Every structure is written in structure tokens, then in C-alpha cells.
Amino acid sequence: MNTTPSGTMDRPITGATRVFPIIGHPVSGVFSPPAFNDFFLRNRIDAVMIGLDITPAALPAFWDLLRGSANMVGCSITYPHKQAAFEAVDSMTGRARRLGALNTVRREETGKLVGDATDGMAMVRAMEARGVQIAGRTAHVSGAGGGAGLAIVDALAEAGIAALSLTEIALDRLSAVRALVADHWPEVEVLASPQPCEILVNATTLGKSPADPMPFEESDLSKAQAFCDVITLDQDTAFLARGRILGASLVSGNDMGAHQLQAQLSHVGLVTA
């Protein structure tokens, strides 16, 4: 039997229930299943998300299981399988191909697998929902070369950002994100050095702990009009709290997560776009 968030028994899980697992190694700390299952319950969708701890060595066997299981609609993918999934699917969206990694796979009726990468799209949709204008503006992305950062840079470029300031501690990843923009979005200016911008996006892990430093310099904070964060907490990160004091528009990791849920479920066909 399934349970509601309060722990009371609700609708049964049957042989007809569609299964949408999240795979990773480990998966004990992932936060997706409660949010997805609450969404399924509230919207009367006969589906369930479970965490599957799949070792890298067992990953080929999982793809075979997914291809052969008609009630599995696909899967969500977390560390360390996003790059491996890129090689396993039969086709993928253009953004997934640009990024070289996947976070969502849809199973077709034929058993073929179709991949997508929705992190960047989720952040952009969250920004738009909060009234943040992207087209024609400037954005500074901290942690631009990481998985989330790279996807957000790509999505901002697709949404019409005029110029990007990119910071990343790993020089090879900084080169990769600059190459992504140059190769696919040549109309977007990549600033030669970090500069104050209208939109700030924290795509680093800074902010999970109260002791963490700010992901941006003070001069960046004082001049920005929108503060966007990938960190998911029950309250404002220090970065967002500062933006609130300054009267900026705020986009939290929770906002991004809500749109991530919609994007992933749309890709696998459990909701309409």
C-alpha cells in the first residue's frame, strides 16, 4: 500500500501502477521520491517513484530491465550515471546531446529509450514563473562548469540571454562551458572576466551550510536584480536572504525542483507539458 505524507494508508499499488524509479549509487539521500509520490497522490496519477541503488557494474542489466518492463515509464538519473546514460539510450533531445549527459529517460512502447536533460530548463522555467526576464539581459553563473551549471548556461542561452559572466574553479570545466556557448550560441557574449550582471545564478554547493562563503563578490550582490539558487533548503540560503534584503527577485532550489518535476514527468508522458 502507498502512504500519504502524514503516513495514512491511501490508494493501493497494483500491477497496473506505472513505475518511475530514480537510479544512482548511492540513492539513500535523494529527495525526489517523496516529492514525486506526493504529486502522484494529489493528482490521482497511478504511478510511483522508488530509489534504485544501481552500481556502475550493474547498470547494463538495469537498461535491459527498463527496455523489457512495460509498466516502467522510464527513469530519473542521478550521480554517477548521467554520463553513462548518454551512451545507453537510442535517441535524445538536442539539449541532452549538447550537454553530453542525461537526467531523464523515457521508455517507448517498443522498448527504445529516449533521453533528456532538464536541469537548465527547470531553472529557466522557475525564473520565468517568478517574473525574471531573461532575453536581452546579462547573467553571472557561479559553478558554470558543473552538471547543473552547464545545463543552466545552455538554457539561459537558448532563452535569449545577451551576455554571460562565467566562474568555475576547475579550469578544464570552465573551458568546456565556454566552448559550449561558442559552438552552439555564438550570438551570446561571454565576458572575458567576471563582471556585475543583472541576474546571479548560484550553481555551486555553497549555501548548504551556514558557514559557507557567498558564491559571489559583494559588488555582484549589490548590483543584481535577480538571485537564483540551485540549493534546496527549507529556508532561504544566505545568498537568497541577502537578495531578499536588497529587494531582488528570488528563485530558490525548491522553485527549480518543482519545475524539474514537471519537466521530467512531461518527458516520460505522466503529465502534459
Give CA–CA dist 76/137, Å, rounded. 32
Per-residue confidence band for 31, with pLDDT thresholds at 50, 70 and 90: confident
Q: Which domains does the chain have, with CATH numbers?
A: 18-117 (3.40.50.10860), 120-254 (3.40.50.720)
Q: Is 82 a catalytic residue?
A: yes
Determine the average pLDDT of the residues in 32-48. 95
Cell 527496455, residue? 67
Per-residue confidence band for 6, with pLDDT thresholds at 50, 70 and 90: very low
Per-residue confidence band for 5, with pLDDT thresholds at 50, 70 and 90: very low
Give CA–CA dist 95/102, Å, rounded. 9
Q: What angle do CA 239, 244, 248 make, to 5 degrees?
A: 95
Query: CA-CA distances (angstroms) from residue 54 to 24, 66, 117, 148?
Result: 6, 13, 20, 22
Determine the average pLDDT of the residues in 232-255. 95
Q: State the average pLDDT for the chain.
A: 93
Reply yes or no on whether the pLDDT at 273 is more than 80.
Answer: no
Determine the average pLDDT of the residues in 224-250. 96
Residues in the chain: 273
Per the residue annotation, which of 82, 112, 208, 223 is the catalytic one? 82
The fraction of the chain above a pLDDT of 90, given in percent, is 87
Q: Report pLDDT digits (tens) over 101-134.
A: 899 999 999 999 999 999 999 999 999 999 999 9
pLDDT confidence of residue 115: 97
